[in-house]
Chain A
Amino acid sequence: EIVLTQSPGTLSLSPGERVTLSCRASQSVSSKFLVWYQQKPGQAPRLLIYAASSRATGIPDRFSGSGSGTDFTLTINRLEPEDFAVYYCQQYGTSPSFGQGTKLEIK
């Protein structure tokens, strides 16, 4: 089983700032299988990034993903008020798994 560890657990930032979220895998993950989701309270997760760096339809270009092997990152440039949420990374393999999430809160 591949374990994904996200860091930090919580981040307090202000609108307009830039943030980088980390997702580390316990073993190498093909970049084509690395996905990022955003979840707001009371809502289902929303697809942001697939194949480590491809934005899903309708996702603003301030969101970008990168990484390979065991280390992946999600970067959000110029935070907007609606970006404050929980972010999950996921690997889609034989047995998909999610990271524990990073909560982005308004400072």
Chain B
Amino acid sequence: QVQLQESGPGLVKPSETLSLTCTVSGGSFSSYFWTWIRQPAGKGLEWIGRIHSSGSTNYNPSLKSRVTMSVDTSKSQFSLKLSSVTAADTAVYYCARVVVKPSERRYYFDSWGQGTLVTVSS
């Protein structure tokens, strides 16, 4: 069964860049989309963006100007960078696997990391 684990600094200063990595184990990395989602404390889920193992990306339009995602297939990892952070970016950040199987009408996030809290504060 595939497992995902987020890693990165838990504290980032305002105006700096948040950087997180998600390591995938126990399953195939190639041919999947991978995604980042965040959740401020006590609030709902916000989709940040997705990246294919080939490197193609799609970002949430509201965050697009500040988001960069990358992939390292040799390490089964994908990464998130969010620039110019403010307190509003404080949240639990989740990585997840995206299942896309049109012939089976399957489009969803099926395996999630445990989440990592990132706090933006000086």
Contacts and interface: CB of A to CB of B under 8 A. Distances in A.
B44 A56 contact: no
Given A44-B94, A44-B114, A44-B115, A32 B105 contact: yes
Contacts, number: 58
Nearest to B94: A44
Interface residues on A, range: 20 to 34
Interface residues of B, number: 22
Interface of B: 35, 44-47, 50, 58, 60-62, 94, 96, 105-110, 112-115
23 contacts: A35-B108, A44-B94, A44-B96, A44-B114, A44-B115, A45-B45, A45-B109, A45-B112, A46-B112, A47-B108, A47-B109, A50-B107, A51-B107, A90-B108, A90-B109, A92-B108, A95-B58, A95-B61, A96-B35, A97-B47, A98-B44, A98-B45, A98-B46
